[in-house]
């Protein structure tokens, strides 16, 4: 399907995409570039990429598909560094967890070539980062959100739908704005909460003793707290308005529960817990039917 993948950012997300594309026989050659030469080198040694490029621009040279898998704050600089080689025949995608800021960066940097860029957010991840954890199955069975704009070329959008579908993903399309509002609620806020919880416990004199007693519920609840700090710094600042709005709504709900606990209102408390429990159970059932 593709001759050459230009991979910019050979970490967990980018490396897994390269491996998946290769395994599916969808690309002949992967040319990779990472900001850190040791990452590029490791990706080459692992067979994730076939050629090490010394710059982002050279990774794009000769590519018919490009994946930008860098922290979202690095998007604009990346677009700028490759813009001279972007053509309407090229499919360019990212994997960022925010979309409005990446689309804005693309408009500013790519200008008339913005049509080649199909903003993408695959809903997949691991609690570890780095190319050494790259996994050809990372995207399999996951949702991928595409957020095309009015200038996105239909042919590139169709290629993007096809390639993710071929990797076993369910492709969903929506506007960058709708994407960012939804993910502030179901992803960015949970991450923020998990960071706050870890810090709240570890900051206490007995925090270490408390942590030694934590069980499997805590393990699952805090899995996302192990996420990469730079990646999540960028996501949270990029999507700050939506995130802070969601944080406010969350705090109001938390305070409502606190009030019932402090006043000993068991009936009302049980009602709110029951509502949360049912919402979670319904969500899980819907997921399993997908």
Site residues for its own copies, 209-228, by CB under 8 A, read: 209-228
As measured in angstroms, the least distance from the Cβ of 141 to its own copies is: 10
- Establish if 130 lies at the interface with its own copies (CB under 8 A): no
- Establish if 287 lies at the interface with its own copies (CB under 8 A): yes
- Establish if 167 lies at the interface with its own copies (CB under 8 A): no
In terms of Cβ atoms closer than 10 Å to its own Cβ (0-12, 13-18, 19+), residue 202 is exposed
In terms of Cβ atoms closer than 10 Å to its own Cβ (0-12, 13-18, 19+), residue 220 is exposed
- Establish if 140 lies at the interface with its own copies (CB under 8 A): no
- As a whole number of angstroms, the distance between CA 171 and CA 188 comes to 21
- Establish if 25 lies at the interface with its own copies (CB under 8 A): no
Which of 45, 55, 87, 277 binds its own copies (CB under 8 A)? It is 277
- Establish if 262 lies at the interface with its own copies (CB under 8 A): yes
Question: What number of residues does the chain have?
Answer: 290
- Establish if 161 lies at the interface with its own copies (CB under 8 A): no
- Establish if 196 lies at the interface with its own copies (CB under 8 A): yes
- Establish if 200 lies at the interface with its own copies (CB under 8 A): yes
As measured in angstroms, the least distance from the Cβ of 4 to its own copies is: 30
Query: Residue 30 or residue 124: which is nearer to its own copies going by CB?
Result: 124
Query: Residue 66 or residue 118: which is nearer to its own copies going by CB?
Result: 118
- Establish if 170 lies at the interface with its own copies (CB under 8 A): no
- Establish if 102 lies at the interface with its own copies (CB under 8 A): no
Which of 112, 203, 205, 289 binds its own copies (CB under 8 A)? It is 203
**β-sheet bridge partners, residue 30:** 5
Which residues from 35-94 bind its own copies, rule CB under 8 A? 73
As measured in angstroms, the least distance from the Cβ of 117 to its own copies is: 21
- As a whole number of angstroms, the distance between CA 46 and CA 36 comes to 16
The β-bridge relationship of strands 27-33 and 51-52 is parallel
As measured in angstroms, the least distance from the Cβ of 75 to its own copies is: 15
- Which range binds its own copies by CB under 8 A, 25-33, 84-92, 161-169, 266-274? 266-274
Residues that bind its own copies (rule: CB under 8 A) add up to a total of 94
């Amino acid at each position: 399907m593709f001759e050459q993948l230009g991979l910019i950012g050979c970490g967990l997300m980018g490396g897994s995409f390269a491996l998946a594309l290769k395994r599916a026989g969808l690309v002949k050659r992967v040319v990779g570039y990472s900001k850190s030469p040791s990452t590029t080198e490791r990706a080459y040694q692992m067979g994730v990429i076939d050629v090490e490029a010394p710059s982002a621009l050279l990774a794009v040279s000769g590519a018919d598909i490009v994946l930008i898998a860098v922290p979202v704050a690095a998007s604009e600089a990346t677009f700028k560094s490759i813009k001279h080689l972007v053509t309407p025949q090229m499919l360019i995608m990212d994997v960022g967890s925010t979309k409005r800021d990446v689309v804005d960066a693309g408009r500013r940097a790519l200008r008339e070539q913005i049509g080649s860029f199909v903003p993408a957010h695959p809903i997949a991840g691991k609690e570890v980062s780095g190319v050494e954890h790259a996994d050809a199955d990372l995207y399999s069975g996951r949702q991928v959100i595409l957020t095309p704009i009015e200038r996105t070329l239909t042919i590139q959008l169709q290629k993007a739908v096809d390639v993710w579908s071929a990797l076993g993903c369910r492709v969903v399309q929506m506007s960058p704005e709708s994407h960012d509002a939804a993910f502030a609620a179901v992803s960015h806020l949970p991450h923020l909460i998990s960071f706050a919880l870890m810090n709240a416990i570890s900051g206490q004199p007995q925090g270490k003793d408390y942590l030694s007693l934590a069980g499997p519920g805590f393990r699952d609840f805090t899995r996302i707290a192990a996420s990469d700090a730079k990646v999540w710094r960028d996501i949270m600042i990029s999507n700050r308005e939506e995130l802070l709005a969601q944080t406010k709504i969350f705090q109001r709900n938390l305070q409502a529960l606190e009030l019932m606990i402090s006043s000993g209102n068991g009936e009302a408390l049980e009602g709110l817990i029951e509502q949360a429990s049912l919402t979670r159970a319904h969500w899980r059932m819907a997921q399993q039917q997908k």
